[in-house]
């Protein structure tokens, strides 16, 4: 089995345990993560589980996560030339309180972190919805699996974004959006249906399913947006682009954004090519 398939299997097995763990871990810890957000017990649990299991794979030499300051380096065990894994252990974890959908995001990078999304050789996300599903991208192929008893079963192969887009979801408070972005939203809302749930993975998965656009844009008070490049933006861009869509930070593909810090943020826009291209035009880039 290839190392990438091994990573995907470990993520699937861990997804079952993460899901099972949620029931007793819906309260906040006293700690904040490196992005200054309060951590839930569930965030910490998922992070520890994934760190332990992913680093146990021979070909994995480093583990970085949204929930910890520093990279955990295991290169001595993998002869220094293994993959670096970047993880958002629970995406949209504040949804655990209201029992709404959440995700797990995994990027497999072929270079030491921080590095650009062009170093990604695979990416995957788990969606904890009514079903636990997993979408993987590797070798230009996007596949969807259902996870049962910790094992992934293929349900759809060679996924591409639908040609007739239906939905949009944009994060951030409306008054915080820039004027250019707001003008774009006013166009799009005549064409697509709003679907926004506050967990990027759930919102992006709707775009993967129905076509359209998801964005967490630059805000007036926060030009860098909210989402993190290595753990959220680049892996999702890799998956959406592998499915025939586009990603952008407003100017260029998220895969081409220079990475200088592990926890750096980036404006995220992903979806059907037409909508992302129009968005770049609206932003004047």
Ligand X SMILES: O=P(O)(O)OC[C@H]1O[C@](O)(COP(=O)(O)O)[C@@H](O)[C@@H]1O
**Annotated binding-site positions for substrate:** 91-94, 196, 226
Residues 222 to 241 in contact with ligand X, rule: CB under 6 A? 226
Q: How many CA atoms lie within 13 A of 183 on its CB side?
A: 10
Q: What is the Cα–Cα distance from 234 to 66, expressed in whole angstroms?
A: 13
Q: Cβ 78 to ligand X, closest distance in Å?
A: 27
Residue 202: alpha-carbon gap to chain centroid: 10
Torsion of CA 171, 175, 181, 182, to 10 degrees: 110
Q: What is the Cα–Cα distance from 41 to 43, expressed in whole angstroms?
A: 6
Categorise residue 225: left if φ over 0, alpha if ψ from -120 to 50, beta otherwise.
Answer: left
The entry of Mg ion, ligand X, none that residue 171 binds, CB within 5 to 8 Å by partner kind: ligand X
Q: Cβ 88 to ligand X, closest distance in Å?
A: 5
Q: Cβ 158 to ligand X, closest distance in Å?
A: 27
**Contacting ligand X (CB under 6 A), which of 171, 211, 212, 271?**
171
Q: Cβ 232 to ligand X, closest distance in Å?
A: 7
**Contacting ligand X (CB under 6 A), which of 47, 51, 91, 144?**
91
**Contacting ligand X (CB under 6 A), which of 45, 216, 238, 275?**
216
What is the pattern of x (binds Mg ion, CB under 5 A) and - over residues 85-104? Answer: ---x-xx-------------
Whose Cβ is closer to ligand X: residue 98's or residue 284's?
Answer: 98
Verify binding: residue 88, ligand X, rule CB under 6 A: yes
Binding residue count for Mg ion, defined by CB under 5 A: 5
Q: Cβ 81 to ligand X, closest distance in Å?
A: 30
Residues 198 to 257 in contact with Mg ion, rule: CB under 5 A? 232
| Binding-site positions | 66, 88, 90-94, 196, 226, 232
Stretch that binds ligand X, among 22-30, 91-99, 235-243, 271-279 (CB under 6 A): 91-99
The entry of Mg ion, ligand X, none that residue 184 binds, CB within 5 to 8 Å by partner kind: none
Verify binding: residue 93, ligand X, rule CB under 6 A: yes
Verify binding: residue 208, ligand X, rule CB under 6 A: no
| Interface positions with ligand X (CB under 6 A) | 37, 66, 88, 91-93, 171-172, 198-200, 216, 226
């Amino acid at each position: 089995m290839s190392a990438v398939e091994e990573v995907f299997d470990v993520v699937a097995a861990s997804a079952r345990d993460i899901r099972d763990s949620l029931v007793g871990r819906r309260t906040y810890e006293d700690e904040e993560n490196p992005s200054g957000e309060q951590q839930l017990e569930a965030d910490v649990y998922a992070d520890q589980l994934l760190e332990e299991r992913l680093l146990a794979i021979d070909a994995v030499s480093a583990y970085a996560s949204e929930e910890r300051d520093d990279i955990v380096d295991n290169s001595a065990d993998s002869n220094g030339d293994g993959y670096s894994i970047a993880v958002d252990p629970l995406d949209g974890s504040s949804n655990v309180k209201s029992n709404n959908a959440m995700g797990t995001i995994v990027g497999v990078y072929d270079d030491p972190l921080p590095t650009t999304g062009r170093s990604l050789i695979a990416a995957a996300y788990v969606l904890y919805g009514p079903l636990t599903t997993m979408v993987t991208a590797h070798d230009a192929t996007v596949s969807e699996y259902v996870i049962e008893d910790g094992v992934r079963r293929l349900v759809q192969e060679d996924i591409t974004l639908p040609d007739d887009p239906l939905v949009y979801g944009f994060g951030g408070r409306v008054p915080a959006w820039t004027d250019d972005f707001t003008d774009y939203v006013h166009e799009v809302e005549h064409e697509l249906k709003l679907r926004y749930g506050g967990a990027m993975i759930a919102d992006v998965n709707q775009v993967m399913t129905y076509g359209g656009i998801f964005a967490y844009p630059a805000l007036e008070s926060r030009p860098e947006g909210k989402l993190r490049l290595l753990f959220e933006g680049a892996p999702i861009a890799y998956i959406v682009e592998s499915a025939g869509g586009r990603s952008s930070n407003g100017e260029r593909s998220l895969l081409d954004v220079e990475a200088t810090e592990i926890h750096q943020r980036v404006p995220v826009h992903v979806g059907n090519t037409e909508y992302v291209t129009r968005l770049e035009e609206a932003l004047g880039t």
